[in-house]
Chain A
Amino acid sequence: MTTVVSGRRSTAPQAPKGGGAKRGGGKAGGANWRHRLRRDWPLLVMTLPVIVLLLAFHYIPTLGNVIAFQDYSPYTGIRDSEFIGLANFSRMFSEPAFWKAFFNTLSITLFQLVFYFPIPIAMALLMNSVLSPRLRTLFQGVVYLPHFFSWVLVVSLFQQMIGGAGLLAQTLRNHGYEAVDLMTKPDTFIVLVTAQSIWKDAGWGMIVFLAALSTINPALYEAAAADGANRWRRLWHITLPGLRPVIVLLLILRLGDALTVGFEQFILQRSAVGGGAAEVLDTYVYYQGLLVGDFGYGAAAGLFKGVVGLVLVLVANRFAHMVGEQGVYSRS
């Protein structure tokens, strides 16, 4: 018994690690380490600039979140500002404007989950049933396009179509009706931003589902048809189960981003709609932190958002494993 185990142990390090045939590393040890450094230093030099940039503009700012626990002032700096524990957070939780932004964000996420999320799936199914490859390419070319537009551009286009001076208002006015400005109404703002998101990204969202559809074995459909399943039963029993891993994965990612609804889209329209309906967590952080100049407080709101988001992703992923799906990362 023991000999088997030890035998296994002795062979294990000789197996190539990470699929590398040449660079297996061989036996572990200090001398070998120096040899690998002499061999691999050009690779390290190549990687270094990216690592430096990520450290400077991603990791150091992340550490900079300590100012959320400080009475931070730009004049005293991060080193000399006084630590005030959770005071920023307790102030935040007693602030109605924060909760307003919080619930705005959540309701927009939920609304988009119901009205936006299914659209790329439906479009992919429709697309998949179009037989002419020429027509498919053309259609894909058209609907992917807005994904490459900036938010400034998308908001501009919406404004020109349905804004106060836009085409819709202008047409109504020319025909003697009262003009409407759908871009500044707080009540329908949630519909507006969802429509904008759909216009910009629903076509692009299709791409993942098309890829998943192409991996479904066509023989399954043929067999089902031979067994007498009509197209709806084939959709229900073959297509949708085939899409399920992707749907679960995207739902997890969306859940992890539940507190992120897109900063640019909202900052662009906040002044037109007003801080009530258009305030989401990201814009709240921006206004409180940078425009009001309350850095520590803004950082606290941002940190709250980041930590909740991280927890949501991990929880959702755990849940996906529990129901037997792959999730974002698999347990190794």
Chain B
Amino acid sequence: MTSPTLTSSRQLARRRSGIEAGRPVWEEPPTVFGRLSKPVVLALVALLVTFPLYVVVVTSLSSTEAVTRAGGLVVIPRELTIAAYVQLLSGGVVTRALLISTVITFVGTAFSLGLTVLAAYGLSRPGSLFHRPLLFVVLLTFLFGPGIIPSYLVVNALGLIDSYASLILPTAISAFNLIVMRSFFMGIPGELIDSARIDGAGEFAVLSRIVLPLSKAVVAVVGLFYAVGYWNAFFNAMLYLNDNNKWPLQMVLRTYIVQAQVLPTGAGGVTSGSGMGLSPAPSLAIKMAIVVIAVVPVLLVYPFIQRHFTKGVIIGAVKG
């Protein structure tokens, strides 16, 4: 219960701005059915999204007894333990895949973001040489995809099969991100850029000292989009990597969860023994822990992405 004074002051503020309880004066009051069904529907939708995540997290933290008693996935948490995570992260397939995914995500994001910033600026100066045909080259990629087979043949011809570069280079540039960033750069007042140029700044100096400091939000959003993309990428790894030892986390997730292959144990397996004196975690908890490890980075960066939605960076770009 909120205190009555707080409620009334809030109502006062609304009344002063001509709004009764947030609802415009001309609008009819909601029906009983609407008033009851709306929260139910909203809660149901929110539950549909969060419940599977909740079950997975709880199961990953459950002991053998808890899993046995529940007959599988655990809904009501009992006897929580981090044994599954200790086992997974003490060396083995998942530790290595996690490391690979992390490095690919960081290197790939830096590479993609860097090139996207450069090209977005290079194409954003009105009237510059060749900017129309070059922009056309970028835009045309929206209309058709290259096709799986020819892409494979090109990557093969470049000798990139079974290399980490094959996880980055073929899908390094998102034309969409490039256009979003370009339209943001074009919104920067030309006078600012011209005045810097009069002061003797070259294009690189203009980009790094004038344009980038003004574009932190869009750079952050595009960077996060690239990062999430690299973290979630699975297609390139499936197509171009034959060597299991180079698998990123999503491939491990696919093999042991979706295809439900048996988790190998021991040296070179998914887990290398039970670490730190904890009793060994049930294999279901280990599987769910792999799922959680794949989700957590996305959950960590998500609030930062979401914060920029409200600033309208993405929507504005989509509409423009």
Contact = CB atoms under 8 A, between A and B. Distances in A.
Interface stretch (A3-11, A60-68, A95-103, A235-243): A60-68
A29 interface: no
Interface string B192-204: 0010000000111
B127 to A, nearest CB: 3
A146 B49 contact: yes
Given A54-B138, A208-B318, A143 B46 contact: yes
Interface string B224-262: 000010011111001100000000001001100111100
Contacts of A37: 129
Nearest to A214: B315
Interface stretch (B79-87, B91-99, B268-276, B301-309): B301-309
B219 to A, nearest CB: 15
Given A160-B288, A309-B144, A43 B129 contact: yes
For chain A, which range describes its interface: under 10, 10 to 19, 20 to 34, or 35 or more residues?
Answer: 35 or more
A280 to B, nearest CB: 13
Contacts of A17: 126-127
A63 B175 CA distance: 19
Interface in A24-55: 24-25, 33, 36-37, 39-40, 42-47, 49-51, 53-55
Contacts of A159: 257-258
Contact of B149 (A49, A67, A131, A221): A67
B75 interface: yes
B72 A25 contact: no
B56 A160 contact: yes
A285 to B, nearest CB: 5
A153 B291 contact: yes
A63 B154 CA distance: 10
A139 B46 contact: yes
A294 B233 CA distance: 26
Contacts of B239: 290
Contacts of B115: 49-50, 53
A46 B71 contact: no
B130 A285 contact: no
B239 to A, nearest CB: 7
Contacts of A63: 150
A148 B228 contact: yes
Contacts of B48: 199
Contacts of A165: 72, 260
A36 B129 contact: yes
B238 A18 contact: no
Given A143-B45, A271-B259, A61 B153 contact: yes
A282 B148 CA distance: 8
Interface stretch (B1-9, B102-110, B164-172): B164-172
Contacts, number: 289
B23 interface: yes
Interface in A203-237: 203, 207-208, 211, 218, 221-222, 225-226, 230-231
B138 A299 contact: no
B222 to A, nearest CB: 13
Interface string B26-52: 111000000000100110011011101
Contacts of A51: 119, 134, 137-138
Contacts of B116: 50
A152 B254 contact: yes
A57 B167 CA distance: 12
A129 B53 contact: no
A126 interface: yes
A54 B315 contact: no
Contacts of A144: 306, 309
B315 A44 contact: no
Given A130-B38, A157-B291, A285-B149, A306 B129 contact: no
A18 B128 CA distance: 10
B240 to A, nearest CB: 11
30 contacts: A20-B125, A20-B127, A40-B125, A42-B204, A43-B203, A46-B207, A47-B122, A51-B137, A55-B137, A65-B150, A131-B21, A131-B23, A137-B310, A139-B46, A140-B306, A142-B46, A145-B49, A146-B49, A149-B298, A150-B231, A150-B253, A150-B294, A151-B234, A152-B250, A156-B253, A157-B53, A165-B260, A167-B72, A218-B24, A267-B238
Q: Which 5 A-B pairs have the closest CB atoms?
A: A20-B126, A23-B127, A64-B150, A150-B232, A61-B146
Given A53-B173, A145-B302, A148-B298, 8 more contacts: A40-B128, A43-B203, A47-B134, A57-B155, A62-B147, A130-B42, A137-B310, A155-B258
Interface of A: 16-25, 33, 36-37, 39-40, 42-47, 49-51, 53-65, 67, 74, 78, 123, 126, 129-132, 135, 137, 139-146, 148-153, 155-161, 165-167, 170, 173-174, 199, 203, 207-208, 211, 218, 221-222, 225-226, 230-231, 263-264, 267-269, 271-272, 282, 285-286, 289-290, 295, 298-299, 302-303, 306, 309-310, 313
